[in-house]
Amino acid sequence: MASIRRTGSARWQGTGKEGKGTLATQSGTLRDTPYSATARFGDAQGTNPEELIAAAHAGCFTMALAFKLSGAGHAPETLSTEARLSMEQEGGGWTIKAIALTLRGKVPGVSAEEFRRLAEEAKATCPVSRVLKAEITLEAALE
């Protein structure tokens, strides 16, 4: 069975509210990219985990749909997806409640019905859509 591994990392200094951190990815696309509580829950500069999840979902879904369309003989000219992640406060914490995908596509020769069917398949099967069903493990060490 084939396997792909990718890594991302975070470094944080200080308290949750006043602290700040940086994110990095194996590819180097993110390198010492700042994030903080004020970027996450306010409008300060920097990124946050939720917008990264939304971007990852939009990218994964759109690529999966491109593969499905191509496999059905309909090469897409353009596919554009916006993923709007909704997070709500519940009790003492926050929960990601939903991700709404908005798709626009220009695909010659495909019917609206087939486009919708293939988009639903891509939504159900792209790895990021399925991530919450994944096994999550933790290795923790105190330094």
79-132 pLDDT, tens digit per residue, is: 999 998 888 898 889 888 888 899 999 999 999 999 999 999 999 899 998 886
Secondary structure element (H or E) that encloses residue 121, with its range: helix 112-125
Secondary structure element (H or E) that encloses residue 36, with its range: strand 33-36
Q: With bands split at pLDDT 50, 70 and 90, how would you rate the model's confidence at 140?
A: low
**Encoded tokens for 62:** 């759109």
Say whether pLDDT at 142 is over 60: no
| pLDDT of the residue at 79 | 95
**Please, where are the H alpha helices in 2-89?**
37-41, 49-71
Taken in order of first residue, the domains within the chain and their CATH numbers are 8-47 (no CATH), 54-136 (3.30.300.20)
| pLDDT of the residue at 138 | 67
6-60 pLDDT, tens digit per residue, is: 999 999 999 999 999 999 999 999 999 999 999 999 889 999 999 999 999 999 9
Please say whether the beta carbons of 64 and 125 come within 8 A: yes
Say whether pLDDT at 134 is over 90: no
Q: What is the pTM of this model?
A: 0.89
Please say whether the beta carbons of 69 and 118 come within 8 A: yes
Contacts of 126 (CB under 8 A, 6+ apart): 57, 60, 61, 63, 64
- Calculate mean pLDDT across residues 65-69: 96
